[in-house]
Structure formats: structure tokens, C-alpha cells
Amino acid sequence: MAQMEKTQQQQDTKTDAGGQGKKPKGGAKGPVDKRPRGLNYPEVNDPKMLGEIKRMAAITPYGLASQFNLRLSIAKDLLEDLAKRNIVKLVGGNARVRIYQPANVASAVPAAS
């Protein structure tokens, strides 16, 4: 019992004497504001959104979701819909992630095989 009291007193004096005790490794980060992701399907014919998409060199679901504050599933559906309308063209990817380009840029660059 005496040994436990000694170690506890040593720990208390370390923290009282200038904060020499253990410090959290990650540093002090402030609270992160989480933005709720949009659940609504965005308007496909919105000129502002289409202008932003046409300026992007490579379009991925994650890039679209982060730029327009969407969920990934909605961004994937939106890209598939835009590909059907020939606004964007699939240029690469695999089963997990697909990479698109705007249709006018994709026609100038040969597709990866």
C-alpha cells in the first residue's frame, strides 16, 4: 500500500511542477465542426455545378462529394447520370473508384486501355 501511495505522490508532483507528466501525443486540436452531408440529389442542369465540373481535370466521387458537400453514394449516382448524358466520360478506375473527365476534355485525350 505504501508503494502505491509513493508512486501516486510522484505523479502528482510531476504534473504540478510545470506539467512534466505525460502529454497527449496528438497535440491539442480544437473541436472539429462536422458539416452534415446533403441527402438531396442535386439538380443536374444547374449551370454553376456544371461549370465547376467542366473545370475539373479528373473527377472522382470523393472529389465531387467534398466539393459539393454530398454523400459518396449520391456523388457516385450523380457521376453515372452525368456519364449517361455525355457530360462526363469514364476514363479509368476499377470496381471501387471510377475516374471521369469532362466530355470535351476526354474526347481530346485518348482513353487509357
Domains and CATH numbers, the chain: 47-108 (1.10.10.10)
Segment 51-74, tens digit of pLDDT: 999 999 999 999 999 998 899 999
Q: How would you label 89-102 residue by residue, b for 16+ Cβ within 10 Å and e otherwise?
A: bebeeeeeebbbbb
Residue 34 — pLDDT band, cuts 50, 70, 90?
A: low
102 DSSP β-pair partners? 88
Interhelix angle for 47-55 vs 61-68, to 10°?
Answer: 130
Of the two residues 85 and 4, the one the predictor is more confident about is 85
Nearest 5°: CA angle at 44, between 54 and 94?
A: 65
24 half-sphere exposure, CB direction, 13 A CA radius? 4
Residue 25 — pLDDT band, cuts 50, 70, 90?
A: low
Q: pTM of the entire structure?
A: 0.60
Average pLDDT over residues 27-49: 74
